[in-house]
Amino acid sequence: MSYIAKDNPFMKIFYPYSESIISNYVAEDIATSINDFFSIDEEEITRHMVNELGNTLNIYASKLKNDRIQAITLKIDAPDDDYFIPSVVLASAYDNFTIKKTYSLPNHSLLPETNNLYHELSLGKCIFSQFGGCDIDILSDILFNVISLSNSDTSGIFKQIQKLVIIKILELLYNTCAAIVKDHRFRELPKNMPFAFFAHLDDSEYVMLITID
């Protein structure tokens, strides 16, 4: 089973953005850090994320009483807001959701422009709050490498690579959710339809990942 979704919209964003950074920053150490992205084993990382998120769904199913879940939000989080180096994805579950607004140009500076994948949501009852999720430490390491480079912060390259990391995380989360909806742990989860997975950074601007009617 392949864990790489062929229709992943974030894959189409990642490569042009990474190439634009390399073309503007010819320093070898910067290019090496960016090229680290191309050597990671995305199949293995996604398999690990599917397993961790699947375990979260198992826990949800075991603790649910009369509630049913209609949306799971995945927060890309970091322990230190000063540098915002994401290391974990935190999952929350809601009994319903309503899309109030759809748009392409995000307000958050670390999010990429996409085609109508951003949503302002009205979320229902929170059944599980930041309970479960998955680790993304391997991508954090790339950002730590950039911080160690001379003038990485003042040159503005760090913020650009932060954005590149976010795009890669969204790409991996899309692959993860596309795989998890085919998993028996998702099928066994008490849920309402249509069901959706969303990603976000700040509890206000939600990226649509996968929907199931």
Predicted TM-score (pTM) of this structure: 0.92
Q: Considering the domain boundaries, does residue 41 fall inside one?
A: yes
Q: Considering the domain boundaries, does residue 4 fall inside one?
A: no
Q: Considering the domain boundaries, does residue 62 fall inside one?
A: yes
Q: Considering the domain boundaries, does residue 1 fall inside one?
A: no
Tokens coding 212:
């199931």
- Compute and round to an integer the Cα radius of gyration of the chain: 17
Range of the domain at 159: 9-212
Other Cβ atoms within 10 Å of 107 Cβ, number:
10
Q: What gap in Å lies between CA 11 and CA 192, rounded to an integer?
A: 29
Q: Considering the domain boundaries, does residue 2 fall inside one?
A: no
The total domain count for the chain is 1
- Identify the segments of the chain with pLDDT beneath 70: 1-5, 25-27, 79-82, 149-155
Q: Considering the domain boundaries, does residue 167 fall inside one?
A: yes
Q: Considering the domain boundaries, does residue 3 fall inside one?
A: no
pLDDT at 180: 95
Secondary structure, 3-state, 117-137:
CEEEEEECCEEECCCCEEECH
Interior CA angle at 68 toward 66 and 72, to 5°?
140
Q: Considering the domain boundaries, does residue 101 fall inside one?
A: yes
pLDDT at 3: 60
DSSP notation for 20-61: HHHHH---HHHHHHHHGGGGS-HHHHHHHHHHHHHHHHHHHH
